[in-house]
Amino acid sequence: MSTSAGDVKCKRLEGKVALVTAATAGIGLAIAERLAQEGANVFICSRKQSNVDETVSALRNLGLEVSGCACHVGSAEQRRRLVEQCVQRYGGLDILVSNAAVNPGAGPLAETPPDVIDKILDINIKSAVLLVQEALPHLIQRPGASIVFVSSVTAFSPPEPIAMYAVSKTALLGLTKGLAAELGPRGVRVNCVAPGIVPTKFSAALVQTPELASAQAEATLLKRLGRPEEQAAAVAYLVSPDAAYVTGETLVVAGGMHSRL
């Protein structure tokens, strides 16, 4: 866990219910922890129930209100059950953070096998849209509801060897704009966070040697890699009342790395 519950003083999310996918490690875990620190009741998921149980226990030991269940976001039945269990546990849903993603293969775009393309598009884009559809009937009932997609700074200039993954993250920028236009009149804000290079298990290939990690750090204006809690702070802002007039935006949290399409 990144911090103790006492380290975050503001309680902008008191009385809110947040659902965070892929939240038992890395950036997702940091987001779940931060939202709970700010007063939200947080429901998490991961593919393995054992990981969910361990994370819920650890966060509750920090005095945070967290529950969760196993969910493979590529399954329609498991998505339905995820939202249903969250609403049953906490009585509603105010915040959806769509963080789940896969990168089953690496290499040039022109050589990416069809099965790798299918899996990336299915989980990183299709499942994100369908999860919103599942959650929307609950979100529109709550004033100040919001959705945040977790993209990547690589969305702006997809690099080899993770270009196909990065292209799926580019799609989330468009999804954010499109949903924000549709859902704004219904009272739901939709935004996106594009993290830079944050050393986690998921990004291990980008920082697997000291030389690679140093090169990634040099690509930033701050000359360092990011931390999960810095991404979590950005998400906490976007789902809070402080961002009540912010929708359709992508907040790049990447230490000044290039981030323009």
What percentage of the chain exceeds 90 in pLDDT?
Answer: 85
Question: Residue 4's pLDDT band (boundaries 50, 70, 90)?
Answer: very low
Q: Name the residue among 231, 244, 246, 252 with its Cα closest to residue 13.
A: 244
Residue 136 confidence (pLDDT):
98
Average pLDDT, the chain: 94
Tens digit of each residue's pLDDT (9 = 90 or more) over 130-187: 999 999 999 999 999 999 999 999 999 998 889 999 999 999 999 999 999 999 999 9
Q: How confident is the model at residue 56 (pLDDT cuts 50, 70, 90)?
A: very high
pTM value surpassing 0.75: yes
Among 23-32, 35-44, 159-168, 237-246, the least confident range: 159-168
The catalytic residue among 90, 165, 237, 245 is: 165
Helix (H, G, I), strand (E, B) or coil at 81: helix
The answer to whether residue 150 sits within a structural domain is: yes
Q: Is the pLDDT of residue 45 over 60?
A: yes
Give domain status of residue 134, yes or no: yes
Task: Give the per-residue pLDDT at 207.
Answer: 62
Structure confidence at residue 1 (pLDDT): 65
123 inside domain? yes
Domain count, the chain: 1
- Do the beta carbons of residue 115 and residue 161 sit within 8 Å? no
**H-helix segments, the chain:** 26-37, 49-60, 76-90, 114-121, 127-139, 163-183, 210-218, 228-239
Is 165 a catalytic site residue?
yes
Asked if residue 154 lies in contact with residue 166, where contact means CB atoms within 8 angstroms, the answer is: yes
Question: In DSSP terms, which residues pair with 96 in a beta bridge?
Answer: 19, 147
- Classify residue 122 by its DSSP letter: I
Residues 251/191, Cβ–Cβ less than 8 Å: yes
What integer pLDDT is reported at residue 72 of this predicted model? 97
pLDDT at 258: 87
Q: What is the residue range of 102's domain?
A: 11-253
Q: Per-residue pLDDT for 202 more than 70?
A: no
Spatial distance between the Cα atoms of 236 and 173, rounded to a whole number of angstroms:
19
Look at residue 77 and tell me if it is in a domain: yes
Write the CATH number for 54: 3.40.50.720
pLDDT digits (tens, 9 = 90+) for 209-255: 777 878 888 989 999 999 999 999 999 999 999 999 999 999 999 99
CA distance 231 to 175: 20
Using the predicted structure, report yes or no on whether residue 73 has a pLDDT greater than 70: yes
* 260: in domain: no
Q: Which residues contact 211 (CB under 8 A, 6 or more apart)?
A: none
pLDDT at residue 260, as a whole number? 85
Answer whether residue 116 is part of any domain: yes
**By 3-state DSSP, what share of the chain in percent is helix, strand and coil, each rounded to 5?**
50, 15, 40
In a domain, 220, yes or no: yes
Would 6 be classed as within a structural domain? Answer: no
